Amino acid sequence: MRDYKKSEVWKIGREINKEVYLITRKFPKSEIYALVNQMRRASIGVISNIEEGCRCDSNKEFVQYLRISMGSVKGLECQFYAALDVGYIDKVEFDKIMKELDKMGGKLWSSPDITLVSPRYIKYLKEKNNEEGK
């Protein structure tokens, strides 16, 4: 079993999660069950899916959880755009968190604990993602 607490990408996710909670504290109370809830759930989803993937026996299952985690990262990006658009966050906060989310997304695919997943499987996934992006 992989140790998620040693994973660099999980540690980055924890920092993002903390930032999401701190930022969303300032949102209007009317958003507590809407955007705030959705953003917090997505940020928890990022690190939770990494942890769940680390408990999997196969590389295929592990990477599937990383893909789900990446979906939560992309969801957070969209939600931060929405928060910026309605003035809940300023451009400085937005740029900072987007930089962290971009870093997280890059780490999920460029080094999803490469030592834990076979390099051949990582190459296959990168090629597959490139084909899907065309």
CA pair distance 81, 83, nearest whole angstrom: 5
Q: Is 23 exposed, middle or buried (0-12, 13-18, 19+ CB in 10 A)?
A: buried
Regarding the domain with residue range 4-133, which homologous superfamily does it belong to in the CATH classification? Answer: 23S rRNA-intervening sequence (1.20.1440.60)
Can you give the pLDDT at residue 59?
78
Can you give the pLDDT at residue 115?
46
Report whether pLDDT(111) > 70.
no
Give the residue with greater pLDDT, 117 vs 130. 130
Three-state SS annotation for 54-100: HCCCCHHHHHHHHHHHHHHHHHHHHHHHHHHHCCCCCHHHHHHHHHH
Can you give the pLDDT at residue 21?
97
CA pair distance 89, 99, nearest whole angstrom: 15
* Residue 116: band (very low, low, confident or very high) from pLDDT cuts 50, 70, 90: low
6-46: pLDDT as tens digits: 888 899 999 999 999 999 999 999 999 999 999 999 999 99
Handedness of CA 65, 68, 72, 77 (dihedral sign): positive
pTM of the model: 0.80
Can you give the pLDDT at residue 121?
63
Residue 34 CB coordination number (10 Å): 11
User: Is residue 8 within 8 Å of 107, Cβ to Cβ?
Assistant: yes
Report whether pLDDT(112) > 60.
no
49-102: pLDDT as tens digits: 999 988 888 878 888 898 899 999 999 999 999 999 999 999 999 999 999 999
Can you give the pLDDT at residue 8?
86
